[in-house]
Amino acid sequence: MSPLLAAQNEWAYVAGGYGVTVGALLLLTVATIVRGRRVSRQLPPEERRWL
Amino acid sequence: MRPHLDTPAGTDAGGSTGLFRLHPDGTASRGSRTYGLVVLAGVILFLLVALVFSPADTGSENQMGDMVRIMYVHVPVAVACYVAFLVTAITSIAYLWKRTEGWDVLAVASAEIGVVFTFLTLATGSIWGHIAWGTWWEWDARLTSTLVLFIMYLGYLALRGAILDPVVRAKRAAILGVVAFVNVPIVHYSVTWWRGLHQDATVSKVDPSIDGLKLFALMFGMVLAVALYGWLMIHRFRLHYAAARLEASGLDRALAERRAEARPDAVTADAASTDAVPTDAVTTEGTLS
């Protein structure tokens, strides 16, 4: 394999690693925010102690 | 009427706009929003440093080339998962000691985030291993013990999902939260105790094997991963706190309904017993209450 091809191959793995990490953390963040809104909506505002 | 319905569109109760605008039903506060924006800016800066500004690894004995960039996320997510499980263990001990709901909520919030970080540790490690070792997976001591750690905390979450009684669930989960943490030092020292494919510690020694911008990217990644863990903890704690309050109010409502159903029977029993033997009325009322 030529050095250029090897470097491209390495970058594909790097992109995969960063994609998985950023994607999973983004998914967790969005899920936390959406579920947080859904659950706290059912709670009376006086019980939302963070407000 | 709920307070948020009185606020004008595009503003929160405090009148903030743009990125600082808080959703009226969300788990964010002004402080957590500011914290989140700082972390977001840090993530953008980190990606620039890790993928653009830092050089490929050509000087060290390992010669990892561009693959060294995987280390800037692999090591930080592993550190964040250690921190998450340490917090779960500490808050589990605190729950067993104090028996207050807040410690249990903190423990589960931290365990959930820890499981995601452990999954990312395994995934990024596997990607690195495929090009460095030529295999996606190897039953090396570090990899195997990390997989066991992941499965143990999945079990912790499954246990919580399987028990309905909040007090029993909190107690059993707290015991498992403490026991499962024993595996964390085993994971960390596995590269020292057993020889395998996984490399030794890169940073946690007196003379680290990387330096300059590469070391900065790694350290910055670690700080950022812990900061992100902190932000997620704030929101997941509030989410679980709200869920626990709803669960408690649901139980209170169910108890009140049960008492309301039982009360007419008690009145009937009382009325009937006044004509008969008085001690029966006491027994019946005692049973109902």
Q: Does A31 touch chain B (CB under 8 A)?
A: no
pLDDT at B239: 93
% of chain B at pLDDT higher than 70? 80
What pLDDT, on a 0 to 100 scale, did the predictor assign at position B175? Answer: 97
The per-residue pLDDT for A41 is: 87
Residue B80, pLDDT score: 97
Residues on chain A touching B26 (C-beta within 8 angstroms): 33, 36-37, 40
**Mean pLDDT lowest among B5-14, B166-175, B243-252:** B5-14
Residues recorded for chain A: 51
Task: Write b or e for each residue in B74-91: b if 16 or more Cβ atoms lie within 10 A of its Cβ, otherwise e.
Answer: bbbbbbbbbbbbebbbbb
- What residue spans of B163-211 are helical by DSSP H? 166-180, 183-193
Cβ atoms of B166 and B108 within 8 Å: the answer is: no
Burial B196-215 (b: 16+ CB within 10 A, else e): eebeeebeeeeeebbeeebe
pLDDT at A51 over 50: yes
| Residue (of B74, B157, B155) closest to B109 by Cα position | B157
CB < 8 Å to A16, chain B: 127
SS3 B201: coil
Give me the pLDDT at residue B15, please: 56
Percent of chain B topping pLDDT 90: 56
Q: What is the average pLDDT value for chain B, to the nearest integer?
A: 83
Q: Which of residues 67-106 of B touch A (CB under 8 A)?
A: 67, 69-70, 73-74, 77
First to last CA, chain B: 37
Mean pLDDT, range B3-16, rounded to an integer: 46
Q: What is the mean pLDDT of residues B244-257?
A: 83
Mean pLDDT of B156-185: 95
Q: What are the structural domain ranges in chain B?
A: 38-249, 251-289
Per-residue pLDDT reduced to its tens digit, B273-288: 544 444 443 333 333 3
| pLDDT higher than 90, residue B237 | yes
pLDDT reported for residue B118: 98
The model's pLDDT over B172-208, given as tens digits with 9 standing for 90+, comes to: 999 999 999 999 999 999 888 887 777 776 655 555 6
ipTM confidence score: 0.89
Nearest to A39 among B113, B232, B246 (CB): B246
**What's the pTM?**
0.82
Q: Which of B202, A3, B63, B78 lies closest to B55, judged by CA?
A: B63
The pLDDT of A13-19, averaged and rounded, is 95
CB of B33 within 8 Å of any CB in chain A? no
Instruction: Scan for tokens 């807040």, then name that residue.
Output: B102
Number of Cβ atoms within 10 Å of the Cβ of B1:
5
pLDDT at B276: 45
**Which range, B111-115, B131-135, B140-144, has the best average confidence (pLDDT)?**
B111-115
Chain B residue with CA closest to A23: the answer is: B120
pLDDT of residue B280: 40
Examine the pLDDT at B267 and tell me if it is beyond 50.
yes
pLDDT(B212) > 70? yes
Rounded to whole angstroms, the Cα distance separating B104 from B152 reads 18
Average pLDDT over residues B141-150: 95
Confidence tier at A9 by pLDDT (50, 70, 90): confident
Better-scored residue on pLDDT, B23 or B281: B23
Report the pLDDT value the prediction gives residue B163, as an integer from 0 to 100.
93
